[in-house]
Structure 1
Amino acid sequence: MACIAKRHPNIVAIGLRNELLKLPIHHGLFHTDWVHHMSLGARAVHAENSTLLLVAGGNFAAGNLGFIRGHHFVPEIKDRVVFESHIYNGGYVNPLWKRLGYNWTSKYLICLIENRNGFVRTLKHRPAPYLLGEFGLNCQVFPNDQHDAHFFRAVTDWIRSEKINFGFWCICGSYAYREGQQDRNEDFGLLTADYKQVRNPELVRALQDIA
């Protein structure tokens, strides 16, 4: 892929591995398997195409980079590493909107992102660019689902205040084949299942306001 990108100057970055799962982290220390294999990937891509940015997502589905606080990741590759994380309104956040209210839950959510991932921007030994590579929600119910609406507001307020680059999951309205099902609908997709219309213009406008 790094070689193919040479022929396409509009490709500026390659993700080293999407949403790594089930790599245990012990007491906040960097995990040697992540460092070893992600370093191999970064060096292989960089050797083939040194112009590309190398996007490194954290552990637990790109949810945690905390273990690199004390680690110099591929120190010989200068100004090419971008750290990435993904965040969704999952089981560890969604129930709190009702129990704790918006103010406390939004603070918890942003602290979670910053402490696990966003801190890379201020690393003393080597500050690095940070990308919120994915966040998203069910486009078919926004903004009627109050908890998703709270989640969207909290994340986008943070994006604005910190000037974070981000990606929204996702644009596709359906899949030709996924999880054993043909023409499977994608609830989080910005487009309708036939790809002919925007599913939720209000959500698109809200994203355009922070883009």
Structure 2
Amino acid sequence: MYLLKSILCATALPSILLAAPNVPFTTSKSRIVDSTGANFTYVGVNWPGAADVMIPEGLQYSSISSIVSKIKSLNMNVVRLTFAIEMVDDIKDKGGDVTVQNAFTKALGSSKGPTAYQAVIKNNPQFNASTTRLQVFDAVAAELSKQGIYVHLDNHMSKGAWCCGGGDGNAWFGDTYFNTANWKRGLEFMADHSPPKTKSWTSIVSIGLRNELRKPSSAGSSLAYNWSTWYDQVTAAANLVNAANPDILIFLSGLDYDTTLSPIPGAGDLGSGKKFQKSSFKYADKLVLELHNYQNSATSCDSMKSSLNNGGFKALDASAVNQMPVVLTEFGFNQADSSYNGVYAKCLRTIIPQWKAGWTVWVLSGSYYIRSGTQDFEETWGLLNHDWSGWRSTSAINALKDMISASLAA
């Protein structure tokens, strides 16, 4: 019943919905290809929606359409849109989703929460007191589709909060807030919450199973932090997602904050006699690897190349046992200084397009509703300025445009 209400809710959808072109996507060796067989390279940005409020950031400062238009102006073709499993838990276990109004009050308090909510509906008058968090995600997805941008949905956290740390209870399967059954159920729900059931999600092409798996700093999980556990849990989740929506690609992240997928390209030993063999999956042409990289202090591009290759990018090579596409779903740096001109940024602008690998830069947000207890948090890594009205740094954006052009040309 809830899903039906969500589908029928006119307040959450723009007036015009366009079917995304050339979907669904599949994979062929190291490339992602669209339904016509043409290569497709992910060139995009992260739009967070998994923190305390559990709706996409920035709506207290701007309309959804204005934000999407800014992304479109850069010629980006995809948004990595993050969500928290807690939102689905509320829907499944607590009688339905939380309204946006109540979500702001819960996250920001009874004084500042209503003020932020009023700013959101002033900028986005299609919402009202009955609009839920998921309906806001529906509206974002619909606007992205309307403006010709694909959606990569990413499970960032279980409990809605800022990510990531070893002690946040979201680090590893079975951690304090990382209920594995709820996680799988949440992924299944979000994969199912897409075409043809929900017409606002016509441009969804993929889903990331989990962001930055990492070793818990306390004994919050009874499951061993190793590749064997990873394999069991990821395989089970991927099976459910593919059954719920066989059209979308499934992104697999690695260990150590998703900085390594080292045993996967060569089908190395995962422990307990397990090996990752892409060919053993009935949906092998739907699997993609993702990695993160934040080597901001790098002094040598050659060392970065080696690190990235050993971390998992060697899966792009024809010699890999499991030759697969690899997407750099997170990288980034301070937008308020000259970091865009440093070794790290320059290296990635060169080698990622050369490798024909996709990417989504961290992060779009110029500010957050709340981050680690600080409300209206300034995000200097954000492409946008604090009030989401323009780019934080024209120089950094111009450099990013070079990377966009190079990737699309490749």
Q: TM-score, normalised by structure 2?
A: 0.45
The separation in 2 between residues aligned to 1:34 and 1:15, in whole angstroms, is 14
Alpha-carbon shift at residue 143 of structure 1 (Å): 4.2
1:194 aligns with 387
Note the alpha carbon deviations across 1:110-146, whole angstroms, 9 max, x for none: 11001111011225433111101111000001248x6
Structure 2 unmatched runs, 5+:
1-189, 217-225, 268-275, 405-410
Contact kept, 8 Å, 1:89 with 1:137, in 2: the verdict is: no
1:21-60 alignment, distance < 5 Å: 21-22=214-215, 31-60=227-256
Q: TM-score, normalised by structure 1?
A: 0.85
2:399 counterpart (187, 206, 210):
206
1:51-200 alignment, distance < 5 Å: 51-68=247-264, 69-70=266-267, 71-73=276-278, 75-90=281-296, 94=297, 97=299, 105-122=300-317, 124-143=320-339, 149-200=342-393
Identity across matched positions, percent: 27
2:167 aligns with none
The separation in 2 between residues aligned to 1:108 and 1:75, in whole angstroms, is 34
Cα RMSD of the aligned pairs, angstroms, is: 1.8
The separation in 1 between residues aligned to 2:307 and 2:284, in whole angstroms, is 28
Alpha-carbon shift at residue 58 of structure 1 (Å): 1.1
The separation in 2 between residues aligned to 1:124 and 1:197, in whole angstroms, is 43
Higher relative CO (Cα under 8 Å, sequence separation at least 6) belongs to: 2
Highest Rg: 1 or 2? 2
Alpha-carbon shift at residue 79 of structure 1 (Å): 0.6
Alpha-carbon shift at residue 46 of structure 1 (Å): 0.3
Secondary structure, aligned partner of 1:12: strand
The separation in 2 between residues aligned to 1:142 and 1:36, in whole angstroms, is 43
2:212 matches 1:19: yes
Structure 1 unmatched runs, 5+:
24-29, 98-104
Alpha-carbon shift at residue 82 of structure 1 (Å): 0.6
Note the alpha carbon deviations across 1:47-75, whole angstroms, 9 max, x for none: 00000000111111110000223121562
Residues 197 and 124 (structure 1), Cα distance of their counterparts in 2 relative to 1, 3 Å cut: closer
